[in-house]
Amino acid sequence: MAQTLLQVEDLHTQFFTSRGVVRAVDGVSLHIDVGETLGVVGESGCGKTITALSILRLVPDPGKIVSGRILFRGNDVVKMDDDEIRDFRGNDVAMIFQDPMTSLNPVTRIGSQIEEAMTAHKRFTPEQAKSRVIELLTRVRVPSAETRAKDYPHQFSGGMRQRAMIAMGLANEPSLLIADEPTTALDVTVQAQIIQLMKQLNRELGTAMMLITHNMALVASLCQRVVVMYAGRVVEEGPVEQIFKSPQHPYTWSLLRSVPRVDEARKDRLVSIKGLPPDLSNPPPGCKFHPRCPFVIDRCRVEEPPLGEVGPDQVARCWVLMRNVSEGDVATAKQSSISVAAAENLKAPVADIGTKSGS
């Protein structure tokens, strides 16, 4: 049995706004084993970033962790005092963000920033920290690390900045690295370099990784297990191969079929999920996905399904499950079309106008 590194249990994080209480994270449970890569996927506003920020106790105002436990090697992060949480953030966990430019200090040299990350947490002596900077930058494959350490962030390109951010994240040898959309702002060839780097680091250093993203392909490439979130809840979880081969929640199924694949010729229309994600200050009753679900049944509207086991290590929160949906219903779900009547109405008058003004 793998050893559990982080265990989140029934986490509720809410934002207390003038418009009411927003339940951003609404009873999330998940775990990460030592050395494992976990993908957390979902669309904007599903609560994936707030879950990560809750783990670091960095939820911005007016948000608050309302209940639940976050156990890191058995210690509850929610109950830590200020010194303990500082130590936890510095030495056990690190987080890298989407936009490396806004997370680096523009007036401090790259090398000094990485050094500061080490000396601030007193894990290394100033001398050790100095020599580690070059080592870290070399490890994340920044060429001519010794000279580049003296550069300022604006002298680095986007990909190089993200490497520097990763170097800083790894500075104190954390056992968990949380990466929030680490490659979204990068060009594809640079994205491939960073993905490769993260794979290598996970292998070489055994750092567990929590990858937060909306990009299913990135999860397929980097992760061993995946958690799918919708409206502040986990709706499906399981090993990556299993989830991609046989997703059971209609939301997971739709997410996988709403993106075209670069390695396949165009076959089907893309599955588009109708409507919009719910307002989390006033979520729908029953299953949170039911207003958008193409396979909804009456029970979904009144009663929320629990996370039930649907396969080996795979759980899903659904009354229907994709394996019970008929092929006909799947085909219907793929159809969505513009209003042909409206198109006809539009064509007629414009033809007149076209001849009037000439070309």
Partner 1 sequence: MMQAPEKAPLTTVAADPIILRVQDVYKHFPIAGFGGLAVRAVDGVDLEIRRGEALGLVGESGCGKSTLARLITALLPVTRGKIIFEGQEITKMRGGRLRRMRRKMQMIFQDPFASLDPRMTVGDIIQEPLDNYGIGSGKARQRRVQELLRLVGLNPNFTNRYPHEFSGGQRQRIGIARALAVNPSFIVCDEAVSALDVSIQAQIINLLQDLQREFNLTYLFIAHDLAVVRHLSDRIAVMYLGKIVETAGRNDIYDHPQHPYTRALLSSIPVPDPVVERTRAPILLKGEIPSPVNPPSGCRFHTRCPIARVPGICSEQEPPLEPHGQRDQLAACHFAGEK
Under rule CB under 8 A, residue 283 binds partner 1: no
**H-type alpha helices, 285-339:** 298-302, 327-334
Site for partner 1, residues 187 to 216, rule: CB under 8 A: 187-193, 195-196, 214-216
Where is 137: in which H helix or E strand? helix 126-139
Q: Between 11 and 211, name the residue whose CB sits nearer to partner 1.
A: 211
> In terms of C-beta distances under 8 Å and separation of at least 24 residues, what long-range contacts does 325-332 make, across chains too?
325/250, 325/295, 329/294, 329/295, 332/294
Tell me which of 3, 102, 350, 355 binds partner 1, using CB under 8 A: 350
User: ω before 260 within 30° of 0 (cis)?
Assistant: no
Task: Say how many C-beta atoms besides its own lie within 10 A of residue 134's C-beta.
Answer: 16
Q: Among the candidate windows 103-111, 200-208, 265-273, 308-316, which touches partner 1 by CB under 8 A?
A: 265-273
Tell me which of 59, 94, 255, 287 binds partner 1, using CB under 8 A: 255
Q: Among the candidate windows 5-13, 145-153, 156-164, 322-330, which touches partner 1 by CB under 8 A?
A: 156-164
Tell me which of 272, 282, 324, 332 binds partner 1, using CB under 8 A: 272
Tell me which of 58, 270, 297, 331 binds partner 1, using CB under 8 A: 270
177 touches 208 (CB < 8 A): yes
254 touches 236 (CB < 8 A): no
Under rule CB under 8 A, residue 244 binds partner 1: yes
Query: What does the DSSP 8-state code read for residue 278?
Result: P
The CA distance from 118 to 1, in Å, is 33
Instruction: Decide: helix, strand or coil at residue 71.
Output: strand
Under rule CB under 8 A, residue 330 binds partner 1: no
Determine the size of the site formed for partner 1 (CB under 8 A).
61
Under rule CB under 8 A, residue 75 binds partner 1: no
Q: Among the candidate windows 4-12, 273-281, 293-301, 314-322, which touches partner 1 by CB under 8 A?
A: 273-281
105 touches 43 (CB < 8 A): no
Nearest distance from C-beta of residue 189 to partner 1, angstroms = 5
Buried b (16+ CB within 10 A) or exposed e, 161-198: bbbbbbbbbbbbebbbbbbbbbbebbeeebbebbbebb
Q: Between 171 and 222, name the residue whose CB sits nearer to partner 1.
A: 222
Which positions lie near partner 1, rule CB under 8 A? 43-44, 143, 157, 159-160, 187-193, 195-196, 214-221, 240-241, 244-245, 254-256, 258-263, 265-266, 269-274, 276, 336-340, 342-343, 345-347, 349-350, 353-354, 357, 359
